[in-house]
Amino acid sequence: MVAVDNVTQDAEDATALPAPHPAWLPDAVFAAVGRRRVALADLSDPGRVPPPGPDGPAEVLEALHGEITAATIAHGGAVVTADESPDLVLLLTDPEVPEAEPDGAVEGFRLRRTDGKVTVTAVTATSLLHGFFHVVRLEESAFAAPDADETHAPAAALRMLDHWDNVDVHPVMGQVERGYAGGSIFYDDGGVRTDLSRATAYARLLASVGVDRACINNVNVHAREARLLTDDLPEVARVAAALRPYGVRTHLAVSFAAPMTLGGLPTADPFDDDVRTWWRDAAAAVWTLIPDFGGFVVKADSEGQPGPFAYGRDHADGANLLAEAVAPHGGLVHWRAFVYDHRQDWRDRSTDRARAAYDHFAPLDGRFAENVVLQVKHGPMDFQVREPVSPVLAAMPRTRVALELQVTQEYTGQQRHAVYLGPAWAEVLGFRFRGEDTPALAEEVAASGGFAAVSNVGGDRFWTGHPLAQANLYAYGRLTWDPTLDALDVLDEWITQTFPDASTLLRSTLHTILDDSWATYELYTAPLGVGFMVRPGHHYGPDVDGYEYTPWGTYHFADRDGVGVDRTRATGTGYTGQYPAPWRDVYESVETCPDELLLFFHHVPYTHVLHSGSTVIQHVYDTHFAGVERVEAMVRRWEDVAGEVPDDVAARVRERLAEQLRSAVEWRDQLTTYFFRKSGILDARGRTIY
Amino acid sequence: MVAVDNVTQDAEDATALPAPHPAWLPDAVFAAVGRRRVALADLSDPGRVPPPGPDGPAEVLEALHGEITAATIAHGGAVVTADESPDLVLLLTDPEVPEAEPDGAVEGFRLRRTDGKVTVTAVTATSLLHGFFHVVRLEESAFAAPDADETHAPAAALRMLDHWDNVDVHPVMGQVERGYAGGSIFYDDGGVRTDLSRATAYARLLASVGVDRACINNVNVHAREARLLTDDLPEVARVAAALRPYGVRTHLAVSFAAPMTLGGLPTADPFDDDVRTWWRDAAAAVWTLIPDFGGFVVKADSEGQPGPFAYGRDHADGANLLAEAVAPHGGLVHWRAFVYDHRQDWRDRSTDRARAAYDHFAPLDGRFAENVVLQVKHGPMDFQVREPVSPVLAAMPRTRVALELQVTQEYTGQQRHAVYLGPAWAEVLGFRFRGEDTPALAEEVAASGGFAAVSNVGGDRFWTGHPLAQANLYAYGRLTWDPTLDALDVLDEWITQTFPDASTLLRSTLHTILDDSWATYELYTAPLGVGFMVRPGHHYGPDVDGYEYTPWGTYHFADRDGVGVDRTRATGTGYTGQYPAPWRDVYESVETCPDELLLFFHHVPYTHVLHSGSTVIQHVYDTHFAGVERVEAMVRRWEDVAGEVPDDVAARVRERLAEQLRSAVEWRDQLTTYFFRKSGILDARGRTIY
């Protein structure tokens, strides 16, 4: 364990972060490994360590050595050499692992177990670290299970977390945009933190679930943050150094206008030679200081960010400009596909924000450089509790496409509501664009651009505000390493590690609270895939018409007769036509469209009968009352077990559940009242509507 | 003219204010006086000048001398002595004026005209200054009219402007809360401005319309601003010194919690002896430094501000605490009646925010100290474009009650819309609570607590953002000096002075744009007195349901059948019962309730037929289309005359009118669409609804 214990706890220092909760890595989790004889082979033999390179092996091996030292000291085992009959050997060796990264690096590890002795081999220090945490996660079963010889490699080479952290506290968006867990672990007071031990502790959590890249600043790059790329590069290098021991590579979000705003050039036109030179020089400076730097993330021509459109260029031109600059260093450009008209006219029903990313990007397939990764949000809108899978993800076979998820709960309760997102992501990952027997989306993107997600972590003692929201960070790592895992099994892993002494009741209660929590949230919020209905600006809590007459393109069109958005080819915006068969037809027809997406694709009368047998209006009533009842049950369940967890966890979860219940009641009452006032149709069960 | 020309114009100094527009005091207005021989009698004879006192006569007479000097230099006249055959004599003399202030001061002036020679006499320097500006306003007619001997005195002794200015830029509300005219003329950069020449120039504008008191900080007293009362008193004294030459006395908004937050006491309980001592000492310190200080303004137990409720005391207890402290100095306490539950439950239709001020304060009548002025907003809600007159104004005969207006256009277009508020105020001032032959409200409050209003002035070059919004500041002063004036005559005065060379076309165009502009704004915004329907937070632009499910108590209850708030005694909240006869009955009945307030008092079907003969729904459609047409006409009219005004005025008005039109279209389309979607009733005239 490196540096984690160095977190400043001086109450006098206003900017110091609290000592972090151990999350899923409490000391007890290390017992099985820690009570054994563990060898980290060849750490002391430079001849066997791979040459310095992008993985920073020396620091990683040092961190790994620290882990086994701390674990064995805590639990009575010993760090030994390979010839001192170790129970566990961690061996950095030549490749015997199957997957190679595009840049030639090799990821994954091999685990052999013979008579209770375990050997983990890997060709990179980071993969060996991943193998170590794999053994830790297995606890005693790592040693007790039958003999085995397994290889483990991540499904996707690219597994990244994006931080929407600002250096300066933004007057509207705060220190962390859409952050619900305190300030930034990287920045405070207008600069990079002096004490970056929380960043290292964070990297350790990421390493334990296999995430190895982090973009450390907001994709909305404000003036102050833009300078990270130039003036503040030494500070970025400090962050990279803090993440490096746990094998996490640093990426930066950059502004497309940087050649002008930072470089003083008169243009940022991608076809301008001075601009190209500026980016090449900027990239060279970054890699000179940070040899294992990952690359750039770009939000261009989106919600006010600058981009290539200003120069009559398209997004391939823009992305390739940066790709050219980072290519000599093996760098990547993550280019976000979240491009749409955020000054739409609500009166214009023919413009459909859902269509925008496909319309912008699908025609560019094949034109992006090899080191460009097009980062596509899972749905066509914006991380709603329920959306169809973005058709862009199926539209660009000649482009490296990454799936972007949102671990931070912007639209799913902002870490005040307990919402385990694993099942939501599993649905997306398992989506088969071309029908039953075709590959799942996870396989397609894993082989293409991999995964990215917005982190839910901040300076909060529990990392994520809501202690149970740690499960989402855990699940993101585990499901992107292996998308075939069952989301509830992953949750079970998280429970096992986070609450190592959990009683059967506590375990089952956590499952009861979390297993269906995403479905519960959906029950009491916007119905049937229609989305939004949140308060503009902060996006928390209900406001049915909040976005209805805004320029944001997020409408439900509810009137006294019906509700929903007609996105059919026959009579609507034609968005269904962006899907390959069979979905273009499944979604097109009210008869075949799944209930949960009905209002995303169709405008129907309140009396329309769902496949469930309920009318739309009665569904709204029933789900909202049911959702609140389920939250009430969550509150009661927690009280059954609160005494079994540490007081601070019990109290924080209790406080959050109380707010979740208050908020769910508000959602229920506003939604049912809104639709009753509009439809005039009484609840068949006669419950109170205002 | 004092200091006005000293305004810093250094573009390098980010905090400097622009050179101000002359508003209604351009040089040309001084021509009639300036070309004559003018004597300020006894300025040089200390024997005739009243002893130093709250009116700061020396500074005021110096300013007055500066005025006549500047005017005569500019226009060819001369400053002479009284025995050098002056055309105009300004004579500070013994009382020959009729009205006495409660504190014994005497306001008003006498104007005698004989054969074209004018003598103005007054007993205080400030009144003499008011008399001078009266002569200026009359221009040539001051001298050309028939012989006369008139006395002029303000209807009300108290005529104040409140500034909601913050010292620090508030993270949400900015430098000036609900300010639409740039930053503060008093503060910048976290302190009182070094250069206060704009404050003096502002006081001059106020003096020219007879306003003589200003509260210089926000009634929402944040931590920084609270300290004006103590640590920053020398800075407040600087502001007072900047306002004093034009006879404007300084007031401060204070926090009821000051004994705790500033004084370190464990309580702010009005019955605590230490608290009483603290306030007495604090007041004494203020008057020691600022002998003509006016008093305190307090917003207590309102929207989160501290107040006496925390100690189980009522508002009389709270107000009298401060009254006791300021009484030895002749000070006043303006105590705001804007007290209501801002955490209301929208589900609860029995709680009615409109009732709150009456319910809180009417029972306290007779319990307030003599130097407490209860400051009551004109309507029971919050400065909406149309409200009934607050029944509190008729409920407290044994209390000094002031009428509070809002010159800043928080809910009336925020100085982006041209809205002349004179006619709105005239309706309030002329309201007769007890029927035709009883006194108008203006007479009642003039004889009681007078007038207060929230200023619309900021650091903007035009003072008010929209150049035409200057007319509101002008009208506030003129109508509170003499509420019997016709609001359109006052507008005509303003036009005459502001555009001294105006053609007949320009004059008539300004009248065409402004005369009915309040009615126009009402046409395209919330209908029939229902109020709000604005975007929460900033209060600009439409959002029909924006406040419908909030805790703010501002609802319209629109459903598919009807809209409006039932405030009757028979079936509603009983608010109508707060009015004396005849209004308690007029408002109670749908038959007699005026159309323009129908939805304030009643919930009616969309098909309800108004006195106008139109249904409610058709009224909504017709007024909103008509409102936009009137704005379109305003835009066209301005182009007819824009060439006749200075380029900067033309451009600013053009820009504002364009925004007004955009916003009016948005109001029209959202309101008509909202009510069409709810009612399903087509526009009888078949116009486009979305």
Give the pLDDT confidence of A336-364 residue by residue, as tens digits. 999 999 999 999 999 999 999 999 999 99
Q: How many CA atoms lie within 13 A of B84 on its CB side?
A: 11
d(CA B314, CA A163): 51
Burial A49-82 (b: 16+ CB within 10 A, else e): eeeeebbbbebbbbbbbbbbbbbbeebebbbbee
pLDDT band at residue B45 using 50, 70 and 90 as cut-offs = low
Distance CA A578, CA A589 (A): 15
Set A303, A345, A489, A639: catalytic member: A303
Kindly indicate the confidence band of residue B171, based on its pLDDT and cuts at 50, 70 and 90.
confident
Choice among A503-512, B35-44, B248-257 with the minimum mean pLDDT = B35-44
User: Which pLDDT value is given to residue B307?
Assistant: 96
* Beta bridge pairs of residue B122: B92, B109
Interface of B with A in 343-372 (CB under 8 A): 346-347
Point out the residue among A537, A545, A679 whose CB comes nearest to the CB of B545: A545
Confirm or reject contact between A678 and chain B (CB < 8 A). yes
Q: How many Å lie between the alpha carbon of B674 and the closest alpha carbon of chain A?
A: 8
The three-point CA angle A149-A151-A154 to 5° equals 160
Count of other CB atoms within 10 angstroms of residue B356: 23
**Which residues does chain B have within 8 Å of residue A559's beta carbon, measured at their own beta carbons?**
676-678, 680
Please choose, from the candidates A426, A410, A442, A415, the residue with its C-alpha nearest in 3D space to the C-alpha of residue A475: A426
* pLDDT higher than threshold 50 for residue B12: no
What pairing do the DSSP bridges indicate for beta strands B117-122 and B88-92? parallel
Residue of B nearest to A674 (CA): B559
Looking up tokens 């959702």 gives: A627
Cα of A162 to nearest chain B Cα, Å = 27
Hey, how many other C-beta atoms are within 10 angstroms of the C-beta on A470? 24
Instruction: Give the up-direction half-sphere exposure of residue A219: CA atoms within 13 A in the CB hemisphere.
Output: 26
How confident is the model over A620-630, as a mean pLDDT?
A: 98
Instruction: Calculate Rg over the CA atoms of chain B.
Output: 25
Q: Please name which of A502, A525, A468 lies closest in space to residue A656, comparing C-alpha atoms.
A: A468
8-state DSSP, B657: H
Classify residue A140 by burial, with Cβ atoms within 10 Å: 0-12, 13-18, 19+: exposed
Cβ atoms of B490 and B430 within 8 Å: the answer is: no
What is residue A94's predicted lDDT score, i.e. its pLDDT? Answer: 53
Quote the percentage of chain B above a pLDDT of 70: 94
Least CA distance to B535: which residue of chain A? A546
A560 lies within 8 A of chain B by CB: yes
Q: Which residues of A touch B537 (CB under 8 A)?
A: 537
**Confidence at residue A521, expressed as pLDDT on a 0 to 100 scale:** 98
Kindly tell me if the per-residue pLDDT of A104 is higher than 80. no
Would you place residue B94 in the very low, low, confident or very high pLDDT band (cuts 50, 70, 90)? low
CA dist A123 and A116 (Å) reads 23
Return d(Cα B329, Cα A647) in angstroms, integer: 57
- Contact between residue B201 and residue B4 where contact means Cβ atoms under 8 Å apart: yes
Query: Cα separation of A105 and A99, whole Å?
Result: 9
Q: pTM, whole model, 2 decimals?
A: 0.91
Tell me how far apart the alpha carbons of residues A81 and A61 are, in angstroms, rounded to a whole number. 15
Confidence band (pLDDT; 50, 70, 90) for A543?
very high
- Strand, coil or helix: A169: strand
Q: Is the separation of the CB atoms in B580 and B358 below 8 Å?
A: no
- B322-325: long-range contacts (C-beta < 8 A, 24 or more apart)? B322/B254, B322/B279, B322/B283, B322/B296, B322/B298, B323/B368, B323/B369, B323/B370, B323/B371, B323/B372, B324/B276, B324/B279, B324/B280, B324/B369, B325/B276, B325/B279, B325/B280, B325/B282, B325/B283
Distance from C-alpha of A567 to C-alpha of A574, rounded to nearest angstrom: 5
Mean pLDDT across the stretch B93-112? 62
User: CB–CB of A19/A63 below 8 Å?
Assistant: no
Contact B549/A673, CB-based, under 8 Å?
yes
Q: Residue B254 pLDDT > 50, yes or no?
A: yes
pLDDT digit string, tens, across residues A400-436: 999 999 999 999 999 999 999 999 999 999 999 999 9
Are the beta carbons of B395 and B578 closer than 8 angstroms? Answer: yes
Task: Decide if B544 and A543 are in contact by the 8 Å CB cutoff.
Answer: no
Chain A neighbors of B546, CB-CB under 8 A:
545-546
C-beta of residue A203 within 8 angstroms of C-beta of residue A477: no
Locate the DSSP E strands across A284-406: 295-298, 332-336, 372-377, 400-406
Where in the sequence numbering do the catalytic residues of B fall? 303, 382, 410
Provide the token pair at B433.
Answer: 């609570």
Report the pLDDT value the prediction gives residue B53, as an integer from 0 to 100: 43
Count of CB atoms situated within 10 Å of the CB of A125? 26
Best of B535, B549, B688 to disrupt the A interface (most A CBs within 10 Å) is B549
> Sorting pLDDT into bands at 50, 70 and 90, what band is A46?
very low
A551 touches chain B (CB under 8 A): no
Name the pLDDT band for A9 (thresholds 50, 70, 90): very low
Is A300 a residue whose pLDDT tops 80? yes
Measured between alpha carbons, how far is B337 from B536 in angstroms, rounded to an integer?
23
pLDDT at A279 over 80: yes
- Give me the mean pLDDT over the B620-624 stretch: 98
Q: Report the DSSP beta bridge partners of residue B159.
A: B451
**Statement: residue B112 has pLDDT above 60:** yes
Euclidean distance between CA atoms A56 and A292, whole angstroms: 7
